[in-house]
Chains A and B, each alone.
Chain A
Amino acid sequence: MSTRTLISPATLARPRGKALYWTVFTTVVLLFALAFLFPVYWMVTGAMKSPDEVTRTPPTLVPEHWHLGGYTDAWDLMQLPRHLWNTVVQAAGAWAFQLVLCTAAAYALSRLRPVFGKVILGGILATLMVPAQALVVPKYLTVADLGLLNDPLAIWLPAAANAFNLYLLKRFFDQLPRDVLEAAEMDGAGKLRTLWSVVLPMSRPVLGVVSIFALVAVWQDFLWPLMVFSDTDKQPISVALVQLSQNIQLTVLIAAMVIASIPMVALFLVFQRHIIAGISAGSTKG
């Protein structure tokens, strides 16, 4: 499918247009490779250089010898298995809490017509206007009062208060065909039953988007886990990387950075079509 854009197909079909198009195309490919892929290449190969080679000027484009030692050292010295596991636990729990609590609340607001539903929805949407980061200190004090510091619940519970995802779900539920839900109720299915076996199966696309947002948000977060996990053994990989970056060999640190990036980059490469479609759709639908 080709729609008319800025430059007309007729112009592009002319020899001069063609030449210009391929020049621009090649330039953009090179530019993208240089700007976005090269830094990643530099990081992955930097970790395989020897400590002496990585600080050499002028630098070597390709490692003289491919050392995997940086990666194995990072794995052992920086206790990456523990921090990766912490991150996985925090992300998985946040995802589960968010999915269960936000879905239930969105379903109630969309379909069960609670009294004060409008007020509650307004209160939830109002939190979108209050940027989360500006409230980290009082939020931290609340978590401290509840005795949740150094506990994964400090990530899980606040993650469930995600107005954006809740609203996304509610809007999706609003648009589900009414007759299908009615039919389920006619057949005597309770609300929970209707949610579980009718609404949720129909909501797979939006649940996928919400799940990815939830996982990525926790994996990428830094300030909040930095505040709530003072105990080194409980810290996720993002916090541990920064804490340990001061007194560790450069190649080992770079290797740890590569390892910390792999899960999310892999997730992205696997689900890239869905993720990109989700981001693109979010804009036009508003």
Chain B
Amino acid sequence: MTDGIETTPQPIGPGESELAAPSRWRTALRNPRILIGGSIVLLLVLVAILAPYLAPFDPYKIAVGKRLIAPTATYLFGTDEFGRDILSRVIYGAKLTLYVGFVAVGIGLLSGVAIGTLAGYAGGWVQAVLMRGIDFLYTFPDILIALGLVAFLGPSLTNAMIAVGISVIPYYARVTYGVVLVERHKPYLEAGQVIGASHWRLITRHLIPNIIPALIVVSTLGFSAAVLSAAALSYLGLGSQPPDPEWGSMLASGRNYITRSPWILLFPGMAIIVTVLAFNILGDGIRDLLDPRQRREVR
């Protein structure tokens, strides 16, 4: 269900951050993964923003006479069980999906970074308690945590976002913790402590900026995981509610019609795949760029 486990915390140092900015951009764009993944993501964002202009039809308009039309020139993706244009719904769905991803990653990232930094920086029993808890939660598949949370919060897209966001906190906390551990013993922090800088200042001014590259990578990859989890929740009827054109719920409501009208299943599914794929490729690309170990060539 999730790609999260695949990127088990690998402390990624600030490594190449010394590079001058323009040349970094050029290096980034020379990486085909960043280029391809980034372009698709950009495209998705544009589609989401411009949905009202791009969608050929009203995505909510029920047209009884036009039910379950196979893809044609007019209805490129066909129509659903209510005669609604699937292409228009997929286009509008992009906005919901990106929104879900951003909020969920935002919640996971902010809380995770806070916990991870605190644990890594404070050490001692604070670290022991926090990381024991995080490690325990981490053993649970995030979809299960999200499911449990949303069952208690009640079914809605907002609650699904919150649930997914909370379910990935352990992941971000562990990544942050790993990086902070590496950074903590570096001379710049020890020097800071010697000259008597406050903890707050050390963390915000020095520690956080140095762990940002690693966080960019994990959030990009985590975005895919969040989108998949949210789609699964909606598929189970616990996420987005009708008539919202969320892709997972489009699959759920169309599944009884798949024998004769498989396009109902096909296009929202493809939309999820393309989105998740784009963020995965982009994330891989950024990691290539930032993690020197992965770039080493084997001879």
> Do A and B associate with each other?
no
Task: Report which B residues bind A (CB closer than 8 A).
Answer: none
